[in-house]
Amino acid sequence: MAQENSSCHYNETMQFFYNRSGQRHSLDKSLLTLVQVVGSIFCVFILVANCMVIAAVITNKRFHYPFYYLLANLAASDFLAGIAYVYLMFNTGDVSPTLTISEYFLRQGLLDISLSASLANLLVIALERYISVMNWKVHSNLTKRRVTLLIILVWSISVFMGTVPSMGWNCICNLDSCSQMAPIFSRSYLVFWSVSNMVIFVAMVAIYMRIYAYVKRKTTMLMSHTSSSISRKRTPIKLIKTVMVVLGAFLICWTPGLMVMLLDGVNCRTCDVKKLKSLMLLLAVANSVMNPCIYSYKDEEMWTTIKNLMRCIGNGTRRQRSTRANARPLNSDQDPGTSPPASDEMKSDDNQSLDS
């Protein structure tokens, strides 16, 4: 047994690791079908809605500012999350034990990359808001080049974080260190993952508390000015409110999951973390569904742009149908341009009717 725990098991399927962790992966067929159908509907909404947000930022020149570029990047991470959920839904249940180690790393890696990208984007947006508000401006002075470099940095860190287990930080060669929720992930990695994300959470909350305190103090100083001058300064506050709602939804949806992963990482035997796995996934999907709704609800310009895009798509579809209908050949055997001339009898009948 000790030799088995210290040897590597790269040739095993996930059935071997699931058996060791004691996880039940079989679901009732009707329940699995229901999960896949409902989950697919939510995933389609996630993919379409986030595509619309990205398209709105690209097409509307009023959104060509650092804040909205970073917001579009956050939508891109949610789009990736939608792809990850689709892949997970159709590779779970009875399919899970049949996966190879590489396929399991791909399944979990997509989820980890999308979560890391969302979290990194929120942190970068918080810093961008801090810079702009401290200068009491609607938008920061970040150049497009710097924003592009930040976006590249976000995805580089996210891909690295998502691929760390497949690069060696796993328990394939040390079965005693395997976690319960992710049977080939080391418990030490789960501790690192959850603690690092919680530290970023705390950092973002501290940044926004600092922003809130500054805005409150600045607003009090401006109370002696006219109402119109104050209203002009409310625009950066509106953007902050949008991000704070997004951040609040992220904290609510992901903090329970990170706490469960931390408990699994410290090898809490009295905690039945495996029962909470489905709830964690449900909260994660809910977060990706909520984000585009928050953008649209809190930002009227965004919602107006999205509605205009939907109208354009609808009009284009109707125009395409009309073009196809006009180009469709007639059902008669002869083309209208080659129809035979009217007979003499028909002509005479027409002349008589005219004379009468």
Instruction: Round to whole Å and give the CA distance between 14 and 226.
Output: 67
**Which of the listed ranges 263-267, 316-320, 340-344 does the model predict with the highest average pLDDT?**
263-267
With a CB cutoff of 8 Å and minimum separation 6, the contacts of 320 are none
Tell whether the model's pLDDT for residue 223 goes beyond 90: no
Q: Name the 3-class secondary structure at 26.
A: coil
- What average pLDDT score do residues 98-118 get? 91
**Poorest-pLDDT segment among 18-22, 199-203, 227-231:** 227-231
Per-residue pLDDT, 325? 55
Per-residue pLDDT, 266? 86
Tell whether the model's pLDDT for residue 333 goes beyond 60: no
Per-residue pLDDT, 28? 63
> Over the stretch 175-219, which tens digit does the pLDDT of each residue have?
888 888 888 999 999 999 999 989 998 898 899 888 888 877 877
**Poorest-pLDDT segment among 54-63, 147-156, 188-197, 296-305:** 296-305
Per-residue pLDDT, 225? 60
Instruction: Round to whole Å and give the CA distance between 85 and 115.
Output: 12
DSSP H helices in 135-186: 144-163
Query: What is the amino acid identity at position 323?
Result: T
Q: Name the 3-class secondary structure at 178.
A: strand
Cβ atoms < 10 Å from Cβ of 257 = 21
Tell whether the model's pLDDT for residue 332 goes beyond 50: no
Instruction: Round to whole Å and give the CA distance between 272 and 268.
Output: 8
Confidence band, pLDDT 50/70/90 cuts, at residue 336: very low
Per-residue pLDDT, 64? 92
Query: What is the amino acid identity at position 68?
Result: Y
* pTM score: 0.80
**Poorest-pLDDT segment among 97-111, 262-276, 291-305:** 262-276
Structure tokens belonging to residue 280: 């964690």
Per-residue pLDDT, 44? 92
